[in-house]
Amino acid sequence: MTGTVTVPEAASASASTSTRERPRSFSVTGERTRSSADPLTEDTTADVVVVGAGPGGSALAAHLAGAGMDVVLLEKSAFPRDKVCGDALTPRAVKELGLLGVPTPADEGWHRNRGLRLIGGGHRVEIDWPGGEFPDYGLTKARTGLDETLARFAQARGARLHEQTMATEPLTGADGWITGIRTVARDSRGRRTGAEAVVTAPLVVACDGVSSRTAVSMGREKRDDRPMGVAVRTYHSSPRHADPYLESWVELRAQTEGGLGGGVPGRRTARGRTADGRGTSAQAPGEALPGYGWLFPLGDGTVNVGLGILDTSPQFGTVDYRQVLREWIGAMGHEWEIDETTQLERVRSAALPMGFNRTPHFADGLMLVGDSAGMVSPFNGEGIDYALESARIAADVIVTHQHKPRAAWRRALAEYPAIVRETLGGYVTLGRAFAALIGRPELMGLAIKYGMSVDALMAFAVRLMGNIQGNGRDADLADRVIAALVRAVPKTTND
């Protein structure tokens, strides 16, 4: 599971007309189908039980099954099922898909993007993904398709996937070590059918998201000293559904009597400034919120439209974020030709667990991966890449030590949180500091006003926030500065 990164080829997304229908479910072969993954109704045993078939859980199951381990993968819902998300994968996440071996062709719903367009403070800048150690493109794919694709990939690798199977409680031995999971089958409407079963295994991995019932059942509550965020999103049809850039509006303001307002800023690229004749208009009053609005094109006739806000602002919890979203779309929607008539789904919201906000990441036979471990980035709200990355790290540790005697194997599993902390701990610390700073409206306003006008600074910020700096011979000055910052700060603890 280590070696040269090979990213499967993906053709450019090609849909050229807008449609109000979004593809829902695709297998790894591209056929719209429903593979067999019946609810678990009988007791069974496994080497590892993975609870939750989101990106992290399915990636972990695929890595382990590919290494010859017997893996049971439990998913409480039936595919296809939705998750509140921006549906965007940064080059860091694309790299992880390559390491896993997942193909990403356009005809299976994968849409490429070349970079990020940032808008705010009367400025607009387009910054291409830098390439080097990471692919020079990102991807989007609706979670209704992404999660099922990865789950079927794990199933094809040999993982035993059981949909509509809820993990109800962990089982533990006399020494407190987890020995398995009790489950109950559910019908298509989420109701219990009464069929209970037990999966016995020496290791359980919680990949069951922000609420992580599995972790909570083992006494691992969320930490109040780590940041959290909230995301709200919906989908719109738009003629710009195949735009080559992800778009982020970094100047969101709480609703005021005058609304969000805001104008359409002039346009420039990171390689030089150009005038497009559209000019700027005055910003509306109101304090800047610590977050951003996004428009992420999916290449299938639709655009994922939403916003993410951090809890570090004194306004957190007092603002109607759905109203902020409506006002923001009302102010800028003409650029993408979206309004209330193009909305395809209701607005939904979800919490974003950040900064390792649930710990320890391993103890007593239970590992935490992805959102269940609070691995969403405080910089940009991205969680898929860290779910995939932590899944790979967990799999490497599990497979490397699987043949050791029980006592030695248990001790060796503690390498997982140590590697996660060494790999991501400094970056998480910087993200926590960033979250605290932009929670101060006056600093947020100054950063937007002056930072957005400096091309080199914005290119640096995109690398830092996306955690996509190069290393070794690929590193330039910006990469070396980011690496120095990460080394200089203490690593956020996760034990």
| Residue 257 φ/ψ region, left for φ over 0, alpha for ψ in the -120 to 50 degree band, beta for the rest | alpha
By the 8 A CB rule, do 378 and 310 touch?
Answer: yes
> CA 148, CA 212: separation in Å to the nearest integer?
20
Residue 450, token pair as written in the block: 């002056």
pLDDT for 299 equals 97
CA distances from 166 to 41, 43, 71, 212 (A): 11, 14, 16, 12
The pair phi, psi for residue 143, each rounded to 5°, is -60, -25
Q: Which residues of 90-127 are buried (b: 16+ CB within 10 A; e: fewer)?
A: bbbbbbbbbbbebbbebebbbbbbbbbbbbbbbbbbbb
DSSP β-bridge partners for residue 362: 367
For 101, the 3-state DSSP assignment is coil
Q: Report the 10 Å Cβ neighbour count for 399.
A: 18
User: Pick from 271, 274, 276, 308: which is nearest to 291 by CA?
Assistant: 308
Residues in the chain where the model's pLDDT stays below 70: 1-36, 255-286
385 phi, psi to nearest 5 deg: -65, -40
**pLDDT for the residue numbered 142:** 97
- Give the amino acid at 459: A
| Angle, helix 384-400 to helix 91-100, in steps of 10 degrees | 30
The predicted structure's pLDDT at residue 83: 95
User: Alpha-carbon distance 330 to 336, whole Å?
Assistant: 11
Q: What's CA 70's distance to the chain center, in Å? A: 27
Q: Are strands 178-186 and 165-172 parallel, antiparallel or unpaired?
A: antiparallel
For residue 360, how many other CB atoms are within 10 A of its CB? 18
What pTM was estimated for this model as a whole? Answer: 0.88
User: What does the pLDDT read at residue 21?
Assistant: 41
Tokens of 330: 């009302």
**pLDDT, position 286:** 66
* Residue 421 structure tokens: 């902390």
The conformation of residue 490, written as its DSSP 8-state character, comes to P
- For position 221, what pLDDT does the model report? 94
